[in-house]
Every structure is written in C-alpha cells, then in structure tokens.
Amino acid sequence: MTEFQAVAGQAGIIEVAMFGAGRIGTIHAGNVARHPRARLRYVVDVHAPSATALAARHGAQTASVDAALADPAVGAVVIGSSTDTHADLIQRAAAAGKAIFCEKPVDLDVERARACAAAVKQAGVTCMIGFQRRFDPTFAALKQRLEAGEIGQAEMLVITSRDPSPPPASYIAHSGGVFKDMLIHDFDIFRWILGGEAVSLHATGGCPNLPEVAAAGDVSHTAVTLRTRDGALCQINTSRRAAYGYDQRFEVLGSKGLLQAGNVRPTEVVAWGEQAISSDKPEAFFLERYRAAYALEIEHFFDALTHGTPVRTTIEDGIKALELAELATRSWREGKALDCAI
C-alpha cells in the first residue's frame, strides 16, 4: 500500500486536519480547500472562535487535537499553530500515521527537532516543512535556470532579506533570536541555491537605531557569511526594519553570468513627476509577497502525496537550516568565525 492509499479515502481525497486558525493557518486552510485532492475536515485551535469561523468558511468542523488525530479518516495534518507546539504535533501526527505539512521551524531546539525527524522516519510518513520561498515563482524560476546551466557554476550568493518593521519586544524575547526566527529562511535559500553545505560561517549584527531590540538581547541587523566546501561564498544581510517595505532579493554570480531574483510590485504603474520617476514599493509583507508561494507549496504537498514523489522541503532541510541558525547565533555571541561540522 502506498502512502497515498494509506492517507487518502476511498474517493481518492485526502481529509485534512488544520492546526492553527491564525493568520498563516487561514492562508493554508484556503489553499487546502482549493486543492482537488484535499478536503478540509477539521480546524483545531485553542482559540475556539477562530477555529469555528475558519471551519465554517470551508464547511469543516472544529475538533480537539486528540479527536482530529484519532479520526482514521484524517490522512494529513497541516501545522500552522505557534512554534512551541510544532514538535509535539509532528511527533503525535507521525505516531498516528498522518502525512505532515509543518510551518517552519520544526522547533527552536535542535535536539528536539532531530527527535521529530527520527519519529517521522520511524513512522515512514511524509513530513514537509513550510519553506515557502522555494515555491515563489521568481525564486523557483531562478533555481530552474541555474540548474539548467544558464550561468555556469554558482560561485557567490548575495541575499537581502528585510522586514518592513520590527515585531514587538515581547515577541523578540521569545523568538529564539533573529537567526532562528528570521534568517532560518535565508539559510534554507543558501542550501537550496548553492547546493552544498557550509564549511565555515561568520555572523555579526547590530541594533542601529533600534535600542529596544538590543534591550531584548537580540540584534536587528545582521551580516552573515558562509563558505561551502567548493569555495562558493554566500553573504546574507538582513534587517528588522526597511522603511520602504518587505525586501526579498537574492542574486547568484556564476562562472558565466548573474541571476537576480527581485522584489514583486503590486502594480506596474510608473509616475514621472517633477522630482523623480517612481514605481511601486515591493509587496507589503510576507502574506502578500508569498501569496502564490503559499498556494504552490500546499499544492506541491498534496501532489507529492498523490504521486508518491518526494517533497521539496523535508524535515532534514528544516534541521539543517536550524543548525546554521544556531551556529550563527554562537558566532555572533562569541565574535568568532566558526567551522561547521555539519
């Protein structure tokens, strides 16, 4: 029996339990509902009104975690609840034999994330981690052209990753630090694009003009450098605040050229005025910028289940990115370049 036969009902439709009815859960639930091979059966959230509202929108029911996982009709779970619940839900869903889609990160603690991976492996279920950027049409097209050899061999990657404005200090204090909270995506991009693991890493940071971030024990601006076994280099620069919006770009220098992935604008209006020629700022934030990516990753998850093909972003990818985030945190704290025994 294939995994699909195991998780899909007789009609070939996978019944889904959605954990989390917040901002990202709402996005995922909508995308699940649109997939021809998936059906939203349960919405689970500690905040009952949110669960009820989201379930109603898609003709689903609310349920407890226990009930949802105990229902043999449920073939897959989508985990979009708070970070501290991810590991527990992954382990329980794996034990229950459900296919799993989980938002990043697996957990803030690397050991615990590894335990999840072990549980997933033992259960033999699919577990996809929500590194949605790999599904962004621009990023994915770049990757495809890179693999097609358009610029020869990748030699240097420069990633710019900036949020429009910092989260509240209370959030920062429990975020696991900027490297795990924000750069984990960039570490995944590094691994995905350069296709090799890091042999050395250096991270530094600062809080120019954002003393509240420093007060929370974190940095608002970071600069990370990685080197791969092949001598390819990667520089990541990030900021918790970009007055002009959400800035998500990267570029790869290859032996035969350069590929850039730029921001996406809401419209293509250009205004020529007395002072300057101006175009739209980038899409406002991740929900807008990665709207298509969120839809495509859920589509990919159910397509992979349907066809028995591997998922693009595995739990191992989630752990590798987390390990880099942990190393970066240490590099920044100790002020040292580190060798990576990854």
Site for a copy of itself in 255-284 (CB under 8 A): 255-264, 266-281
Of positions 12, 72, 124, 152, contacts a copy of itself by CB under 8 A: 152
Q: Does 212 bind a copy of itself (CB under 8 A)?
A: no
Residues 188, 263 contacting (CB under 8 angstroms): no
What values do phi and psi take at 255, rounded to 5? -65, -15
Q: Does 60 bind a copy of itself (CB under 8 A)?
A: no
- For the bound state, the minimum distance from the C-beta of residue 337 to a copy of itself, rounded and expressed in Å, comes to 5
Q: Which of 72, 93, 96 has the alpha carbon at shortest distance from 8?
A: 72
Structure token digits, residue 244: 């002009």
Nearer to a copy of itself, 114 or 241 (CB): 241
Question: Helix 23-34 vs helix 291-307: angle between axes, to the nearest 10 degrees?
Answer: 50
**Applying CB under 8 A, what is the total number of residues that bind a copy of itself?**
72
Of positions 103, 107, 186, 247, contacts a copy of itself by CB under 8 A: 247
Nearer to a copy of itself, 110 or 233 (CB): 233
Radius of gyration of the chain from Cα atoms? 21
Residues 115, 46 contacting (CB under 8 angstroms): no
**Residues between 155 and 184 that touch a copy of itself (CB under 8 A):** 155-156, 158, 160, 162
- For the bound state, the minimum distance from the C-beta of residue 154 to a copy of itself, rounded and expressed in Å, comes to 8
**DSSP character for 134?**
G
- For the bound state, the minimum distance from the C-beta of residue 237 to a copy of itself, rounded and expressed in Å, comes to 5
Task: Give, in order, the Cα–Cα distances in Å from 319 to each of 179, 191, 206, 241, 313.
Answer: 14, 12, 26, 27, 11
Stretch that binds a copy of itself, among 10-18, 185-193, 251-259, 305-313 (CB under 8 A): 251-259
Nearer to a copy of itself, 95 or 338 (CB): 338
Q: Does 240 bind a copy of itself (CB under 8 A)?
A: no
SS3 245: coil
**Residues between 213 and 232 that touch a copy of itself (CB under 8 A):** 221-223, 225, 227, 230-232
Q: Environment class of residue 128 by beta-carbon count within 10 Å: exposed (0-12), middle (13-18) or buried (19+)?
A: buried
Of positions 13, 207, 287, 340, contacts a copy of itself by CB under 8 A: 207
**Residues between 322 and 341 that touch a copy of itself (CB under 8 A):** 335-337
Question: Helix 110-123 vs helix 83-95: angle between axes, to the nearest 10 degrees?
Answer: 20
Structure token digits, residue 140: 């994915």
Q: Which of 220, 109, 216 has the alpha carbon at shortest distance from 173?
A: 216
- For the bound state, the minimum distance from the C-beta of residue 205 to a copy of itself, rounded and expressed in Å, comes to 7
- For the bound state, the minimum distance from the C-beta of residue 283 to a copy of itself, rounded and expressed in Å, comes to 11
- For the bound state, the minimum distance from the C-beta of residue 298 to a copy of itself, rounded and expressed in Å, comes to 17
Structure token digits, residue 307: 């066809």
